[in-house]
Amino acid sequence: MLLEEVRAFTARLQCAEAASGDPGLGIDLLDAIETLKSVGCAVQAVITDDVATSIRADRRARKRPRSEWDRGIASQIALARRESPNRGGRHLGFAQALVHEMPHTLAMLQTGRLNEWRATLLVRETACLSATDRAIVDRQLCSEPATLDGVGDRGLIARAKALAVELDAASVVRRHRKAVSERRVTTRPAPDSMAYLSVLMPVEQAVCLQATLGRDADSLIATGKGRGLSRNQLMVDLLFERGTGASVASGVPVSVNLVLSDETLLAGGHEAAQLQGFGPVPAGIARQLVADALDGDTETSLQRVYSCPQSGSLTAMESQSRTFPKGLRKLIDLRDRTCRTPWCDAPIRHHDHIRSRRRRGATTVHNGSGLCEACNYAKEGDGWTARPLHRPGRTHLVDLGTPTGHHYRSAAPPLPAAARQSEVEAVLIAHVRAS
C-alpha cells in the first residue's frame, strides 16, 4: 500500500504549480519541500538498511559462504537510485550508521531539521569511532534540535571533529594515516574542453606545492619572463613541465586515443571527437590537437576503426580465445568508453563475457563489455543475470538483471559518424599509404 501511495503523491507533486504572485507562499512551499526531501532521505536510509539486512539473512539461511553475504547489495541500491556502485556503497554505509548507531541524527532527518548532506557530514566525521563513541557524538550534537540551528557546514564538521578527538584521539590519528595511504591523482572533465586535475595529498604537501608554484610564477612575471601570461596560467604550465619533464609547447608525452570521423579530420566536419578517458572534444579543437602533434616531435599514428554508418556501432570482431585478445579489448574500450553498468562511469578495468563462458558465451565484441572491477564482481553474484540484445544496425545493448527481478539496460554510446562522401575516404587511404 505504501508504494502505491508514494507513487500517487509523486504524480500529484509533478502537477504542482508555482505560487504565482505570492512570494510568501512560495517561501513556505520551498521550506515544506525541503522538509519533504529530508524525510524522504530518512525513509530511504531505513529501507536501504532493511533491504541489506533481508538479503544477508536470506543468504545466511541458504548457507552461502560468508564472503558472499554482501556481494552486489550496494550495486542493487545504486541501480535503484540511478547512481554509480561507488555511491551505492556510500548510501548503504550511511543508512547502516544512521539506523544502528546514530538514532538522533536519523530522527532529525525524519523531522526535516537536518538535510541529507549535513547528516552525511556527521556520519563521515565519526566513521573512525567505535559504535559507543559515535553514539555519544550523535547524542551531544543531535539530541536537541536547537544545538545545530544556524550552524554552517564548516561549523558542524569542526564540532564533530572536536568531539571525535576528545573521545578517541588514537582513532583519529589512525584515520589520518589511512587517508595518507590513499593519496592519489585523478582527472574529471570540465566545461569548454578543459579538465580538472585533482591531487589528494596531505595538507602540508598541498600547501607547499601551491606556494612553490605561486612563488615561481611571481618570479617569472617579475623578471619579464612571463610571456604575457597570468599568474594562474603560469602556475599550470609550471606544474605540467615539472610533472612531465616536457614544456607545454612540445605536446603531451604520453599515448592518448582520439576517436574522430574522417570527415571531421580531413573535410572540416563539425561532429565532436571522443578523447578516451575524457569525453567529447569539439571538432576544431580535435583537428588542432592532431595538427600540433604532427608539427611537433610527438609520435603520431592513425588507425582506422569501422562503424555502422546508421548507428555508429563498431563492426563486430570474433575470437576463439577464452580471454579477450589485445585488439578486441581495445575495440571494447573504444566502444564502451567507461563501465557499462547504468549510471557508473568508472574507468574500464575488466573485459567481461556478458554471457559467461560456462554458459557457452562466445569471446566476441557482441558478447563482451567493459566493466569496472566492482561491477564485474557484483555481476557474478548470486541471482544476477546479463545478456546482450541483438539490434541490427543499432548500438550495442546489454540487459542487466538483479536478484530482486529488476532489469536495467545499457546502450553503448555511438561513435563519431563515418564520412558521407566517398572522396574523403579516398584522401584518407592515400594519406595512410603515404605515411
Over 80: is that where the pLDDT of 247 sits? Answer: no
pLDDT of residue 248: 56
pLDDT of residue 170: 87
Over 90: is that where the pLDDT of 106 sits? Answer: yes
- CB count within 10 Å of CB 408 equals 15
pLDDT in tens, 61-102: 999 999 889 999 999 999 999 999 999 999 999 999 999 999
pLDDT of residue 319: 47
Q: Count the domains in the chain.
A: 3
Pick left, alpha or beta for residue 343 (phi over 0 → left; psi -120 to 50 → alpha; otherwise beta): left
Over 90: is that where the pLDDT of 371 sits? Answer: yes
Bridge partner list, 200: 184
**Looking at beta carbons, which pairs linking 316-321 to residues 24 or more positions away fall under 8 Å?**
316/364, 316/365, 316/366, 317/364, 317/365, 318/362, 318/363, 318/364, 318/365, 319/363, 319/364, 320/363, 321/363
Over 50: is that where the pLDDT of 320 sits? Answer: no
Bridge partner list, 408: 400
Over 90: is that where the pLDDT of 249 sits? Answer: no
Please state, in angstroms and as integers, the Cα–Cα distance from residue 334 to each residue in 134, 257, 276, 328, 375, following that order. Answer: 46, 8, 7, 10, 19
User: Per mean pLDDT, which range of 267-271, 331-335, 359-363, 425-429 is the poorest?
Assistant: 425-429
Q: Tell me the pLDDT band of 165, cut-offs 50, 70 and 90.
A: confident
Strands 273-275 and 258-259: antiparallel
| Nine-digit cell string for 433 | 599509404
Over 90: is that where the pLDDT of 58 sits? Answer: yes
Residues 188 and 173 in one domain: no
Please state, in angstroms and as integers, the Cα–Cα distance from residue 44 to each residue in 48, 87, 106, 175, 344, following that order. Answer: 6, 14, 11, 28, 20
The rounded percent of the chain whose pLDDT value lies above 70 is 83
Most confident of 104-113, 168-177, 314-323: 104-113
Residues 92 and 192 in one domain: no
Q: If you compute the radius of gyration of the chain from its CA atoms, what whole number of angstroms results?
A: 27
Higher pLDDT residue, 266 or 382?
382
DSSP state string for 42-62 = HHHHHHHHHHHHHHHHHHHHT
Over 50: is that where the pLDDT of 316 sits? Answer: no
**Looking at beta carbons, which pairs linking 120-126 to residues 24 or more positions away fall under 8 Å?**
120/94, 121/153, 121/156, 121/157, 121/160, 122/156, 122/160, 123/93, 123/94, 123/97, 123/98, 125/157, 125/160, 125/161, 125/164, 126/97, 126/102, 126/160, 126/164
Residues 92 and 215 in one domain: no
Residues 151 and 190 in one domain: no
pLDDT of residue 121: 96
pLDDT of residue 122: 96
Please state, in angstroms and as integers, the Cα–Cα distance from residue 389 to each residue in 18, 122, 178, 366, 375, following that order. Answer: 43, 44, 44, 9, 19
Residues 33 and 97 in one domain: yes
Residues 44 and 174 in one domain: yes
User: Per mean pLDDT, which range of 5-14, 276-285, 416-425 is the poorest?
Assistant: 416-425
Residues 168 and 246 in one domain: no
Domain extent at residue 364: 318-411
Q: What is the mean pLDDT of the chain?
A: 84
How many whole angstroms separate alpha carbon 381 and alpha carbon 241? 46
| Nine-digit cell string for 201 | 595529498
How many whole angstroms separate alpha carbon 209 and alpha carbon 211? 5
Q: What's the whole-number mean pLDDT along residues 242-247?
A: 78
pLDDT in tens, 210-226: 889 999 999 999 888 88
Residue 273 lies in a domain: no
pLDDT in tens, 8-34: 989 988 887 876 778 888 899 899 999
226 within 8 A of 220, measured Cβ to Cβ: yes
User: Per mean pLDDT, which range of 5-9, 33-37, 202-206, 230-234 is the poorest?
Assistant: 202-206
Residue 5 lies in a domain: no
pLDDT of residue 299: 56
Over 90: is that where the pLDDT of 246 sits? Answer: no
Residue 289 lies in a domain: no
Residue 279 lies in a domain: no
411 within 8 A of 395, measured Cβ to Cβ: yes
Residues 194 and 117 in one domain: no
Residues 171 and 238 in one domain: no
Residue 135 lies in a domain: yes
Residues 78 and 148 in one domain: yes
Q: Tell me the pLDDT band of 253, cut-offs 50, 70 and 90.
A: very low
pLDDT of residue 23: 87
Residues 89 and 213 in one domain: no
- CB count within 10 Å of CB 143 equals 13
Q: Which of 159, 178, 197 is the last residue of a domain?
A: 178
Over 80: is that where the pLDDT of 288 sits? Answer: no
Q: Which of 224, 250, 276 is the last residue of a domain?
A: 250
DSSP secondary structure code for residue 350 in this structure: E
Strand, helix or coil for residue 78:
helix
Please state, in angstroms and as integers, the Cα–Cα distance from residue 361 to each residue in 333, 350, 383, 392, following that order. Answer: 19, 16, 18, 19
Higher pLDDT residue, 281 or 385?
385
| Nine-digit cell string for 15 | 502537477
Q: Tell me the pLDDT band of 284, cut-offs 50, 70 and 90.
A: confident
Q: What's the whole-number mean pLDDT along residues 167-191?
A: 86
Q: Where are the beta strands (DSSP E) in 146-268?
A: 184-190, 194-200, 258-259
pLDDT of residue 365: 84
Q: Which of 178, 198, 230 is the last residue of a domain?
A: 178
409 within 8 A of 397, measured Cβ to Cβ: yes
137 within 8 A of 129, measured Cβ to Cβ: yes
Q: How far apart are the first and last CA of the chain?
A: 69
pLDDT of residue 273: 76
Residues 154 and 64 in one domain: yes
Residue 281 lies in a domain: no
Residue 278 lies in a domain: no
pLDDT of residue 177: 84
